[in-house]
Copies of this chain bind each other. A is one copy, B any other.
């Protein structure tokens, strides 16, 4: 059942002993939602804890200043920023008992008893922010940090096309409430580990251009990934956006060897090209500007060549080459 902000606030006032589930491979939005909602419920006099099926990267530690560790028997399950219980890893069964889900994914499968869904929100944290206001809780710096983090990270620091005037107005309010945005943005967007730096450098050395520079491809073979110390999936994931940043490139491709004979191809495109269509040719999918597909039992060069071929076709259809 779909509910609105007021009904969600009412539900939260009426129940107690909340277990808030955040999705696997946690990001700034799900963690911002979980910690902010948990802290708000505790300020309301409720018992609450926010948990995640996966280990939480240390860079997010500060978010947990928004709430306290409480020991109690969980009773009411809430999922935040979780479109489907499949995204809950080992906690899927708990998710299947969800009484409430607060989310912004248009793909939400409405698995919870009640769903507060707003696909217009760039971040689920924007919805949590409104729920907290409806509950009459005033923001302190810790709550503001959590909400700001979700809004900033899900919009690539207000750069992505999902950013709305509301995203900026929420950021403004959170800064007024003391959000430490300078350090948050430094850690989320600018800080690089020596491992990430090395990976970026090595991957960029592999760059190949096609179609008169409209296509750029970088490669991350398993031998490269395994030779660099201290990198994680986050670091490897960020390679995907690099080739498209080069001037003149309309289609940026990154081919990663996940394990022997398994290749993940990430595609990023300018507004002139719908790269979801390219990925679809190989059983993949995604969005217009960011998509991906996988190849098995082949070589890294074959995977790249196939995607380049399809990309050239897309450039031709768009009249670019």
Using a CB–CB cutoff of 8 Å, the interface residues on chain A facing chain B are 157-161, 163-169, 171-173, 175-176, 181-183, 185-186, 189-194, 197, 201, 204-205, 245-247, 271
Secondary structure of the A contact surface, majority rule: helix
Contacts of A158 in B (CB 8 A): 157-158, 171, 181, 185
Q: Which of B165, B176, B192, B246 contacts A175, CB < 8 Å?
A: B165
Q: In the complex, are the beta carbons of B194 and A159 less than 8 A apart?
A: no
Closest chain B CB from A206 CB (angstroms) = 12
Q: In the complex, are the beta carbons of A175 and B168 less than 8 A apart?
A: yes
Please provide the 4 A-B residue pairs with the shortest distance between their CB atoms, ordered closest to farther.
Answer: A165-B172, A168-B172, A159-B185, A168-B168
Q: In the complex, are the beta carbons of B172 and A186 less than 8 A apart?
A: no
9 interchain pairs, CB-CB under 8 A: A157-B158, A158-B185, A159-B181, A160-B182, A163-B181, A169-B172, A191-B247, A192-B247, A197-B204
Known: A164-B175, A165-B172, A172-B169. A186 touches B204 (CB 8 A): no
Bound CA span A158–B156, Å: 11
Q: In the complex, are the beta carbons of A159 and B182 less than 8 A apart?
A: yes
